[in-house]
Amino acid sequence: MKDRKININRPVITAGEIESFKDFGSLVNRYESASRFRYYKFGVMGLAVAAVALIVILTVWRTPAGDPSVAFVNPPMKGIDIGYSSYKVDAAQGAELTYKTGSKIKIPQDAFLDKNGKVVTGNVDVKYREFHDPVDFFVSGIPMTYDSAGTTYHFESAGMMELTAYRGSEPLIANPESKIEVSMASRQAGNEYNLYYLDTVKKLWVHKGKDKIAECEPQQMIDSVASNQPIPAANEAGDTSLVYPDYLRAFGYDDKMATIGSELDKVKAELKSVEDAKPFKPKKATLNGRKFNIDVDPKEFPELALYKGMYFEVGEENKNFDAKLYNVTWEDAQLTENVKGVNYQLTLSKGKEKHDLIVYPVYEGEDYDKALKLYGNKFSEYQSTLAEKKAEEKRKLEEYQAKVKKLEEERQAQMKKIQEEQEARMKAWAEQQKTWAEQQREIDEAFAMTQISGGAKDQGILRVFTISNFGFWNCDRPQIMPREKVLAARFADAEGNELKFGYVYLAEKGRNAIFTYAPNFNSLGFNPKKENWLWGVAGGNRLAVFMPEDFRNIPAGKASHTFVMNVVERKFNSVEEVREFLGLENNKSAQVL
Amino acid sequence: MISPSVSMKYHMTSEQVMTEEAQVKAAQQDSKQFGPLYNKYFEPVFRFVYQRVDQKQNAADLTSQVFLKAMLNLSKYEHRGLPFSSWLFRIAKNELADQFRRKKAERVVNVETDSLREMMVEMKEDRYEMYHGKLAKLMTDLRDEDLDMIEMRFFEKRSFQEIGGIMEITENNAKVKLYRLLDRMKSLLTNKK
């Protein structure tokens, strides 16, 4: 039983209502995202600030020296983080690795030590990733505050990276005698950035000097990225809808059923023939004397030709029978079966005159006796044959039912197999789509690197430094919180229910930073002359957002404000989705303290 | 209340056929040229989908998915004597089947009493009051292919030629299948074997 839901006389949907669902622009966007492409996009906005306004961390950490039960680097959104690129390096040989943004990692020979300080040989697994905009900063959960001389600053970043190395599951140590050099692609020009390393034991950023700026041609960066991007293979599985089979037609269900049924039909026909050939029981003539002697075609009436000496007696029901009919030479006499096995209709006609009589085949005297005896034998034979045929019919019926059942099982198995194949093809297609989308995003990112924020020169920037430890390295400049306007803040949803957040984040257009407000903060500061975004995480891991237009509507002259947040119900599945949802433009770092 | 007929005008004039072929070719060259076809077939495809699901938003999402697949596979479309609409409805049918199988959508039967009457007339059964409830219930238990056929014929008023084009069978085969199905349904209705 399928037990589907049924609606009777559901209200009709109008053409106007259907029209409201049309969105060709959105369809084209989805098509372009899903399609394969082998060319680079130009003029893509930087990915810098796209997802900043949305992400809110519920439980994370308070400060770099905060709750010890919570990991120091704690991605706030489950399942969403910046992925690593993985490389296999022969430790004795060294290698030059290229990341998707065009960054280079030069690994000299013998760059790795084990926990005992011994130089590692053989293959080593190196993992690397970068963070370039507030979206990246958030999803990674990397603390972005820096304490110096009793003041807490917030980092405005020109790019951050993480480099780790393992032999199997054993983390390795960077060899200070053979240092790894990183040339990290950066979207921020200028040499006012410092180099910092994140000490995860002491839970703070450590100043490590300055990076060096190297410039490179954008095309170099693109080419280096492109060389790492495999060209997607033709997707054969994409055309799943058009190769989706018509199960019944492919399986030949109707033809097979017809074949199975035909054998049963044949036996049924034979049985009917047997039944039709039931012997006719001879009847003795009455003494009414009303008889016709008619020559009967034995082919047409085989049951009548069985016995000799037959007459047709006119039945008593023929009330208007006139014996004068015997004296007429009739032009035509037609005999047809009336009641099967009992009587016939005799039609006598001459010109327009016509008489219908019900007549009975009868026998007299010795002919009757002989006919009766013969009938007995024939009837026994008939019964025997009938019984055989019925038994055969029963057997055939059982065979038929068994075959139908088997056919149905085969059909179901076939359908299941095809469905599984279909699902596997569609899954592979979906995976491929995902891969292509990711590859295109990487290409877009690489190209975005060429769009230098704040710089007059249209060139790529590489920030070059050597590392003394594996882990997080950051090119940053510390910033203080904006305080042009300070308000005592309260947060509520659209229904007026109070919202409680762990951390609240502020982003300001023109700064590649996020300003983090720790739990239980008293006041919130921002620059009303800039575009601002504010966000937090409400219950159920939902984002709650306060957008630039909301900031513009804050009344002037107030000391406090209830920030009415838009709580987003949608579930985000990737960094890109968060970035796309926010739709923030590339934040250009133009301000210098 | 009688729903608007969702059956496209299957028989187009030669001029209309040529215009549509040109639109398809243009869209195959440039996806942005798909607009005229999208505008023309959005409502019919939507109604086809909505006939089989419960929620309007669900129907809208599925319709969008159908057109996305059409655009992605447009390069493989060839005019083989059947209208472009048949190809679209086939994609819609397959997309729906896939969504139902993966339990991402629920297959719902939407019937109208007028259509049930028509079905019973075709079955040569005039005891509507006695059997219409049972007939509606019977429809919820049909095999998917059989239910599709009933819906396309009696609820969407499609011709056998159109049904054949969507189900990839001949027009004659569509007729035979439908009438056999009606015979079986009548037997089940009246409990006659």
DSSP letters for B32-78: GGGHHHHHHHHHHHHHHHHTT-S-HHHHHHHHHHHHHHHHHTGGG--
Which residues of chain B neighbour A430 with C-beta distances below 8 Å?
Answer: none
Chain-chain contact of A4 with B136 (C-beta, under 8 angstroms) = no
A87 and A132 within one domain: yes
Confidence category of residue A66, pLDDT binned at 50, 70, 90: very low
Average pLDDT, chain A: 77
Q: Would you say A213 and A461 are in contact if contact means Cβ atoms under 8 Å apart?
A: yes
CB distance B73–A239 less than 8 Å? Answer: yes
A456 inside 8 A of chain B by CB: no
Most confident of A279-288, A404-413, B46-55, B127-136: B46-55
Among candidate residues A336, A363, A390, the one where a domain is terminated:
A363
Q: Which residue has the higher pLDDT, B79 or A523?
A: A523
Contact check, Cβ <8 Å, B56/A17: yes
Distant-in-sequence, close-in-space partners of B21: CB < 8 Å, separation ≥ 6:
B79
| Phi, psi for residue A423 in degrees, rounded to 5 | -65, -40
Per residue in A337-391, pLDDT (tens digit) is 888 778 889 898 988 899 999 988 888 888 888 888 888 998 899 999 999 999 9
Grouping H, G, I as helix, E, B as strand and the rest as coil, residue A534 is strand
Task: Say if the Cβ atoms of A27 and B112 lie within 8 Å.
Answer: no
Query: Is the whole-model pTM more than 0.90?
Result: no
Task: State ipTM.
Answer: 0.87
**Cβ neighbours of residue B168 closer than 8 Å, sequence gap 6 or more:** A246, A249, B90
A12-27: b or e for each residue (b if 16 or more CB lie within 10 Å)? ebeeeebeebbeeeeb
d(CA A575, CA A426): 24
Looking at residue A584, its pLDDT comes to 55
Q: Are residues A10 and A92 in the same domain?
A: no
How far is B84 from A14, CA to CA, in rounded Å? 24
- The CA distance from A504 to A524, in Å, is 9
Q: Chain B partners of A421 at a C-beta cutoff of 8 Å?
A: none
A2·B73 Cβ contact <8 A: no
Higher pLDDT, A321 or A152: A321
d(CA B3, CA B14): 29
For residue A526, CA distances in Å to A215, A548, A561, A592 come to 34, 11, 13, 17
**Does A408 have pLDDT greater than 60?**
yes
Over range A124-130, report the average pLDDT.
Answer: 95
Residue A232 confidence (pLDDT):
42
**Which residues on B lie below 8 Å from A11 (Cβ)?**
1
pLDDT for position A466: 93
Q: Which residues of A touch B170 (CB under 8 A)?
A: none
User: What pLDDT shows up at residue A89?
Assistant: 94
Question: How many domains does one find in chain A?
Answer: 3
Residue A348 in domain: yes
Q: What is the DSSP letter of A70?
A: S
Q: Which residues of chain B make contact with A246, given a CB cutoff of 8 A?
A: 167-169
Judge whether residue A67 has pLDDT over 50: no
Interface probe for B, chosen from A1, A3, A4 (most Cβ of B below 10 Å), is: A4
- List the single residue in A13, A242, A244 with the smallest CB-CB distance to B76: A242
Question: What does the pLDDT average to over A584-592?
Answer: 37
| Mean pLDDT, residues A477-502 taken together | 86
- DSSP bridge partners of A166: A125, A171
Mean pLDDT of A241-266: 66
* Same domain membership, residue A341 and residue A199: no
Torsion angle, alpha carbons of B41, B44, B49, B55, to 10: 100
A12-26, A352-366, A369-383, A506-520: lowest mean pLDDT where? A506-520
**Measured distance CA(A102)–CA(A226) in Å, rounded:** 9
Task: Tell me which of A1, A3, A9 to substitute to probe the interface with B (most B C-beta atoms closer than 10 Å).
Answer: A9
A579 contacts A573 by C-beta, under 8 angstroms: no
pLDDT at A70: 57
From A363, A386, A411, the end of a domain falls on A363
From CA A544, how far away is CA A563, in angstroms rounded? 10
C-alpha to C-alpha distance for A291 and A197, rounded to whole angstroms: 128
Q: Over pLDDT 90: what percentage of chain B?
A: 23
φ, ψ of residue B191 to 5 degrees: the values are 60, 30
Residue A174 backbone phi and psi in degrees, to 5: -75, 135
A261, B181 in Cβ contact below 8 A?
A: no
Choose the mutation target among B88, B98, B172 for the interface with A, i.e. most A CBs under 10 Å: B98
Residue A444 lies in a domain: no
Span A158-173, mean pLDDT?
93
Q: State the pLDDT at residue A368.
A: 87
Residue type, A158: A
At A186 the pLDDT is 87
Q: Say if residue A188's pLDDT is above 50.
A: yes
What gap in Å lies between CA A70 and CA A591, rounded to an integer? Answer: 34
**Least confident range of A93-97, A233-237, A481-485:** A233-237
> For residue A421, is it within any domain?
no
Which of A363, A381, A409 is where one domain is finished?
A363
For A182, A484, A494, the CA distances from A562, given in Å and listed in that order, are 46, 18, 11
pLDDT of residue A153: 80
Q: Is residue A371 part of a domain?
A: no
Pairing mode, strands A485-492 and A560-564? parallel
A392 pLDDT tier (thresholds 50, 70, 90): very high
One domain for residues A101 and A200: yes
Residues from chain B contacting residue A13 (CB–CB below 8 Å): 47, 50, 56
Which chain A residues are closer than 8 Å to B64 by Cβ? 23, 26-27, 30
Strand partners, B111: A8
- Considering only CB atoms, A241 lies closest to which of B34, B91, B145, namely B91
The verdict on A486 and A349 lying in the same domain is no
> Helix or strand or coil: residue B188?
helix
Selecting from B31, B38, B108 the residue whose C-beta is nearest the C-beta of A5 gives B108
Chain B residues in contact with A570 by the CB 8 A cut-off are: none
Which residues make Cβ contacts (< 8 Å) with residue A235, sequence separation at least 6?
A36, A429, A432
Amino acid residing at B74: L
Q: Are A393 and A267 in contact (CB under 8 A)?
A: yes
DSSP string, A90-105: ETTT-EEEE-TTS-EE
Q: How many CA atoms lie within 13 A of A110 on its CB side?
A: 6
Nearest-Cα residue of chain B relative to residue A24: B35
Same domain assignment for residues A470 and A492? no
CB contact under 8 A, B94 and A2: no
Average pLDDT over residues A422-426: 75
How many contacts (CB atoms, under 8 Å) link A and B? 120
Q: Touching check for A272 and chain B: CB below 8 Å?
A: no
* Residue predicted with more confidence, A187 or A317: A317
Q: Are residues A299 and A193 in the same domain?
A: no
Mean pLDDT of A246-257: 65
Q: Are residues A517 and A542 in the same domain?
A: yes
Phi-psi region of A39 (alpha: psi -120 to 50; beta: other; left: phi over 0): beta
Q: Could you read off the pLDDT of B130-175 as tens digits, one per residue? A: 787 888 888 888 888 899 999 999 998 888 888 988 888 888 888 8
Cβ–Cβ below 8 Å for B110 and A10: yes
Distance from C-alpha of A70 to C-alpha of A64, rounded to nearest angstrom: 11
Q: Which residue of B has its CA nearest to A247?
A: B145
What digits encode the pLDDT tens for the residues A193-209? 889 999 888 888 888 88
Chain A residues closer than 8 Å to B101 by CB? 419, 423
Q: Does the CB of A31 have a partner CB in chain B at under 8 Å?
A: yes
Chain B residues within 8 A of A1 when measuring between CB atoms? 141
Q: Smallest CA–CA separation between A502 and chain B, in Å?
A: 35
* Angle (CA) B13 B17 B18, round 5°: 115
Which of helix, strand or coil describes residue A289? coil
The residue with tokens 């990487």 is A442
Average pLDDT, whole number, for chain B?
A: 83
Same domain (yes/no): A121, A208: yes
Residues A32 and B71: their CA atoms lie apart, in Å, by 10
Chain A contact set for B134 (CB, 8 A) = none
| pLDDT at site A58 | 27
| pLDDT number for residue A230 | 42
Which residue does chain A place closest to B133, by CA atoms? A8
Element (H, E) at A241: helix A240-243
C-alpha A83/C-alpha A90 separation (Å) is 23
Range with top average pLDDT, A2-6, A69-73, A403-407, A408-412: A403-407
Q: What is the pLDDT of residue A198?
A: 92
Q: Is A324 among the domain residues?
A: yes
User: What single-letter amino acid sits at A91?
Assistant: A
- Give the CATH number of the domain where residue A114 resides: 2.60.220
DSSP three-state, residue A256: helix
A61 inside domain: yes
Identify which has the larger pLDDT, A541 or A150.
Answer: A541
Helix axes A365-448, B84-101, angle to 10 degrees: 90
Say whether B64 and A30 touch across the interface (CB within 8 A). Answer: yes
Residue tagged 């704040």 (tokens): A454
Residue A372 domain-assigned (yes or no)? no
Q: What percent of chain A has pLDDT over 70?
A: 77
Same-domain pairing of A16 and A97: no
| Residue indicated by tokens 């003029």 | A43
Span B60-92, pLDDT tens digits: 999 999 999 999 888 888 776 678 888 899 899
Q: Would you call A7 an interface residue with chain B, using a CB distance cutoff of 8 Å?
A: yes
The residue of chain B with its CA nearest to that of A4 is B140
A4 touches chain B (CB under 8 A): yes
Chain A residue with minimum CA distance to B33: A28
Say whether both A469 and A551 belong to one domain: no
Distance from CA of A242 to the nearest CA of B (A): 7
The whole-number pLDDT of residue B148 equals 92
pLDDT of A244 strictly over 70: no
Chain A contact probe: residue of B41, B72, B132 with most A CBs at under 10 A:
B72
Containing H/E element for A498?
none
Question: Which residues in A504-535 are b (16+ Cβ under 10 Å) and which e?
Answer: bbbbbbbbbbbbbbeeeeeebbbbeebbbbbb
pLDDT exceeds 80 at position A231: no
Q: Which of B68, B107, B140 sits opposite A27 (nearest CB)?
A: B68
Q: Is the pLDDT of residue A140 over 70?
A: yes
Residue whose tokens read 């513009």 = A552
| A151 belongs to a structural domain | yes
Q: What is the pLDDT of residue A390?
A: 93
Cα A424–Cα A427–Cα A429 angle in degrees, nearest 5: 110
For residue A424, what pLDDT is reported?
A: 80
H-assigned helices in A355-456: 365-448
- Is the pLDDT at A181 greater than 90? The verdict is yes
Q: Which residue range forms the structural domain that includes residue A541?
A: 481-591
What distance in Å separates residue B104's CA from the closest CA in chain A?
A: 13
Candidate ranges A105-114, A215-224, A505-514; pick with highest mean pLDDT = A105-114
Pair (A54, A109) in one structural domain: yes
Least trusted range by pLDDT, from A42-46, A298-302, A473-477, B81-85: A42-46
